[in-house]
């Protein structure tokens, strides 16, 4: 039995070319299938919008009132008339205030009264210091020193240390201010110290001062403020 195929026929001829053409066709169809896009045209329709012009504000037309310009000033007169001044002006004569030797007016002396009723004159500047009892015969220039010496003697004589302050160990300096009034008595005693007991003792000592001859300013008695420190020291 003889084969039916032709010996000259080559079935594998151009097989590679056909393979490449087929592969390319398949790749092209696949690429087109991947890149294929579909759109919903019903959602992209355009509709006309009716926009009313409500935001436009109508500006009323106003009529401007025209103010007429002011009238021009009257023209100046071409001819200027000169009017003579018939009124006489009285001149004011200022007389000299200097007087001659013959015209001397006698002026009576005016006495100026000094009011020292409510004036406090400090001890350091008063003309006549208060006189402590016992300093009457001392010269006027030494009465200030005598006054201070007698004050110190009086403090040493009447000094008494408070027992409560001794027990508590309180010591210090008390500043005492007082006024020698116009009648020589001691008034307005004020104290400032570290303890009330010491202040009370200092007030007691100053309160026992005797009446003095009041200080005088220009021959008149005045009030004289005086201050002195009293030292309390434990031994």
pLDDT at residue 70 in the model: 79
H-state helical runs in the chain: 15-35, 143-158, 163-168, 196-207
Q: What CATH number is given for 140-232 in this structure? A: 3.30.1150
Integer Cα distance of 28 and 25 in angstroms: 5
Which one has a higher pLDDT value, 39 or 215? 215
What is the pTM for the complete model shown? 0.49
pLDDT average, residue stretch 126-155: 91
pLDDT at residue 156 in the model: 92
pLDDT average, residue stretch 43-55: 51
Q: Flag whether pLDDT at 223 surpasses 60.
A: yes
Q: Flag whether pLDDT at 38 surpasses 80.
A: no
**Could you read off the pLDDT of 163-198 as tens digits, one per residue?**
998 889 999 999 999 999 999 999 999 999 999 999
**Adjacency order of strands within the sheet including 186-192:** 186-192, 172-180, 224-232
pLDDT at residue 10 in the model: 62
Integer Cα distance of 223 and 179 in angstroms: 7
Whether 126 and 220 have beta carbons less than 8 Å apart is answered as no
Integer Cα distance of 221 and 235 in angstroms: 43
pLDDT average, residue stretch 111-132: 76
pLDDT at residue 105 in the model: 47
Q: Which residue has the tokens 């008494």?
A: 160
Query: What are the structural domain ranges in the chain?
Result: 140-232
């Amino acid at each position: 039995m003889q084969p039916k195929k032709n010996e000259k026929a080559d079935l594998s001829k151009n097989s590679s070319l056909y393979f490449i053409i087929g592969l390319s066709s398949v790749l092209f169809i696949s690429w087109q299938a991947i890149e294929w896009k579909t759109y919903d045209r019903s959602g992209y329709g355009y509709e006309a919008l009716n926009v009313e012009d409500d935001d436009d504000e109508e500006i009323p037309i106003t009529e401007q009132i025209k103010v007429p310009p002011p009238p021009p000033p009257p023209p100046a007169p071409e001819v200027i008339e000169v009017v003579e001044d018939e009124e006489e002006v009285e001149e004011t004569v200022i007389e000299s205030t200097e007087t001659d030797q013959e015209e001397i007016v006698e002026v009576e002396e005016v006495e100026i009264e000094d009011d020292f009723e409510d004036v406090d004159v400090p001890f350091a500047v008063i003309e006549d210091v208060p006189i402590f009892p016992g300093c009457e015969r001392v010269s006027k220039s030494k009465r200030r020193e005598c006054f201070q010496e007698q004050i110190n003697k009086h403090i040493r004589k009447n000094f008494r240390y408070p027992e409560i302050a001794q027990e508590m160990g309180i010591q210090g300096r008390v500043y005492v201010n007082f006024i020698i009034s116009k009648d020589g008595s001691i008034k307005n005693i004020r104290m400032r110290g570290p303890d009330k007991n010491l202040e009370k003792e200092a007030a007691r000592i100053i309160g026992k001062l005797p009446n003095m001859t009041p200080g005088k300013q220009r021959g008149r008695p005045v009030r004289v403020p005086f201050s002195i420190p009293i030292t309390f020291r434990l031994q």
